[in-house]
Structure 1
């Protein structure tokens, strides 16, 4: 009996035609990076290639949603235009991490601008920006998918820490300038900002703006000498990309890393290598206030590397979750310490991260941190409650922070 041929995917009217030549997606390459290479191959810009790929669903290709997720009709249309399978296309989207790093991600399409507001308030993802490895960009110009996640802070191929700023203008990269060299900063530097222009070696012009054109592949790199940070990155990659059972084994380590990232102090890094200790300044402001997405310290690759160092150190001693959380509690600064006044996040941690972020998982470390008061669930309105989380917050308006775990029904 001949094998049954599966029915072709149903495409909406006006489905795109098959493109004659399409570059093969790279290993762990993101969708925006692959679209950019497609634009370069056909010498077109993004607005011209997007309709040819069938990506016309409203809201899916905005700067804050491109590469996040695609609706089934868009995946079918993209597969028809390029010949790639649904698995290949899904592997280039951040939605592949919904079971690990990005829980409770709303399903596309995101037709309304506020469709992702509740989820994005606490999601640990760089939607507008991306970290990068200068040596990887110099090699092939491809942007990796995990660079959009704070969980990725070390390039395991080149054993260096990732960068997060242009070496010329000092601004984070969005990588949505399709049809341009992906190794060049294409951000517009306001001409009115004379100090920024002089710092970027750009002439003062009368034009309203000027393109930076800094070479990202020439950015200075920091070699990884801290073995615990490197081992922690390997474990987090197994959590993100590993098989189901392998990922489940590293879930407790990811939870411990998240806790350490939120309550990191200089006392915890006395045994770390020199490249990790300077990430904890005692004065000044480490983050520009004009870039709100970069305000949380966990978006700094060196900060997350320091948190992974702490988590790996506790894991190497085979501390039970009770002792690991106690160790973190004992090293918190007092109320009069300058570190407490400048950088310490309150016990409720960062906004809604406990509800939507890495604390989504019901781990032993998280339960112990809640029980001892190291962390607390902040009040959340009904629109911000994670229905998948085992932890609930008292819904009454004006209620106090009530860190009580309660399994969802």
Structure 2
């Protein structure tokens, strides 16, 4: 007898069906990494696994928004499709750091391309790429959540510095394998700037255009600097702590951010060889790595300087003066001293810390141009919307 059950027509708004089995989310694993492992287990493509999880109709899984946050209806949809608790799913999103590293994150869904523009101008987050630990990838192929933040530059489990490039093609990794093995580079091989008469064979003899470099076989630099190690532990406690627990650590975070913007080789004279040999004047090779804080070793050097100042129990004015005297003579006349995101509440300078006030008063840094589209009335530092105007904080404080 034919089945008379009426089945609804397939639609993107239909609630996702329960998947038979899904991998268990790893400790501190990011949501895109977990979704990619689901797709890899079922052998399906990105669009299919997103539709199976009820995410195909929303703008939350684009390359620039994947893993930031989910709309209220997306979390229950993933829960119904996988059986994983909603609290676990929310814990795999960068929005869990809204109280510390990523304040004022706009609410999803991000259906319009420009909804994150103003926030992304000042936010310190690796939106298009991710750091990684080769040893962690070799063990389970999972991409950790904190690897998307510049505040994480050391793997505390394997005691090595994180990397951000493929050891073969030297291209920055996105951390979005989307159904492929997360330990293999899936980026296309960069074009070689050679004349047509030159015959340079492709690294793969089969004529493939994908790198396929092994990320888990890259060389990781061991950590031997005790100040860097202690600084990373303090930053991780600040990241995963509550707002009350992390309040005392905001001064150290602000000091680390100042050191990251002002880091020079003279600040690393007492550092271990892995930092002194790796430090060099920042010259971005990729548009995504346009800022100094996107380099894990650079952030490690900043943590070394901040921890050195914190260990001496310097007062904020003394610590800022130390950063000031370590600058080259011609450094104070350059526009590079304008801190990126200082005038916005979205970056690491949204805290009204003593170190930030002292840095502004001593003219170690200056507020950047605050255009009409980015004027932030919540910022404690008032600045007139005039291009490249040096301003000091309003002594009256927030109005």
Normalising by structure 2, what TM-score? 0.90
Q: Which runs of 5+ in 1 are unaligned?
A: 1-11
The CA RMSD over aligned residues, in Å, is: 2.4
Q: Corresponding residue for 1:102?
A: 102
Segment drifting more, 71-80 vs 28-37: 71-80
In the TM superposition, residue 251 of structure 1 has moved relative to its aligned partner by 1.2
Quote the residue 2:256 is aligned against: 257
Match of 2:376 in 1: 386
**How far off its partner does 1:161 sit?**
0.2
Structure 2 residues not aligned, in runs of 5+: 1-11
Confirm whether residue 287 of structure 1 aligns to residue 284 of structure 2: yes
Whole-Å separation in 2 of the counterparts to 1:17 and 1:386: 44
**2:26–2:142 Cα contact (<8 Å) kept:** yes
Distance (whole Å) between structure 2 residues aligned to residue 180 and residue 388 of structure 1: 43
- Are the structure 2 counterparts of residues 198 and 238 from structure 1 closer, same or farther at C-alpha, using a change threshold of 3 Å? farther
1:278-328 deviation digits (Å, cap 9, x = unpaired) = 23326xx7431xx21212111111100000000000001111111111111
Whole-angstrom CA distance in 2 between matches of 1:249 and 1:131: 27
Name which of structure 1's ranges 353-362 and 149-158 shifts more when overlaid on structure 2.
353-362
Choose which of 336, 353, 356 in structure 2 pairs with 1:346.
336
Residues 239-295 of structure 1 show CA distances to partners (whole Å, capped at 9, x for unaligned) of 00124333222111111000000001111111100111123326xx7431xx21212
Give the Å deviation of 1:227.
0.4
Contact 1:67-1:92 within 8 A present in 2 as well: yes
Aligned to 2:6: none
**Contact in 2 for aligned 1:95/1:105 (Cα 8 Å):** yes
Using the TM superposition, name which of 94-103 and 163-172 deviates more.
Answer: 94-103
- The answer to whether residue 378 in structure 2 is matched with residue 376 in structure 1 is no
Equivalents in 1 of 2:108, 2:48: separation in Å? 22
User: Are 2:32 and 1:32 equivalent residues in the alignment?
Assistant: yes
Q: SS of the residue aligned with 1:210?
A: coil
Aligned to 1:312: 307
TM-score with structure 1 setting the length: 0.88
Distance 1:188 1:194 in 2: 17
Residues 49-60 of structure 1: matches in 2 within 5 Å? 49-60=49-60
Contact 2:65 2:127 in 1 (8 A): yes
Kept after mapping to 2: 8 A contact 1:135/1:158:
yes
Shift of 1:49: 0.5
Partner of 2:171: 171
Structure 2 CA distance for partners of 1:386 and 1:299, relative to 1, 3 Å: same
Cα distance between partner residues in 2 of 1:229 and 1:157: 15
- Give 1:18's aligned residue: 18
Contact 1:106 1:119 in 2 (8 A): yes
Structure-2 residue corresponding to 1:9: none
Deviating more after overlay: 154-163 vs 39-48: 39-48
Q: State how far apart, in whole Å, the 1-side matches of 2:355 and 2:366 are.
A: 13
How many angstroms apart in 1 are the aligned matches of 2:83 and 2:384? Answer: 49
Q: Mark the CA change 1:286 to 1:300 in structure 2 (over 3 Å): closer, same or farther.
A: same
1:248 alignment partner in structure 2: 247
**CA–CA distance in 1 between the matches of 2:202 and 2:263?**
33
> 1:180: how far off?
0.7
Equivalenced residue count is: 383
Q: Please say if 1:146 is aligned against 2:146.
A: yes
User: What do residues 319-377 of structure 1 show as CA deviations (whole Å, max 9, x unaligned)?
Assistant: 11111111111111101x7xx89xx7622123x35423101111111111112111111
Hey, what's the Cα distance between the residues in 1 that align with 2:200 and 2:365? 44
CA-CA distance at 1:204 after TM superposition = 9.6
Distance in 1 between residues matched to 2:83 and 2:376, nearest whole Å: 37
Equivalent residue number for residue 6 of structure 1: none
Q: Does the CA-based 8 Å contact 1:385-1:392 persist in structure 2?
A: no
Matching of residue 401 in structure 1 with residue 367 in structure 2: no
Q: In the alignment, which residue of structure 1 is the partner of 2:135?
A: 135
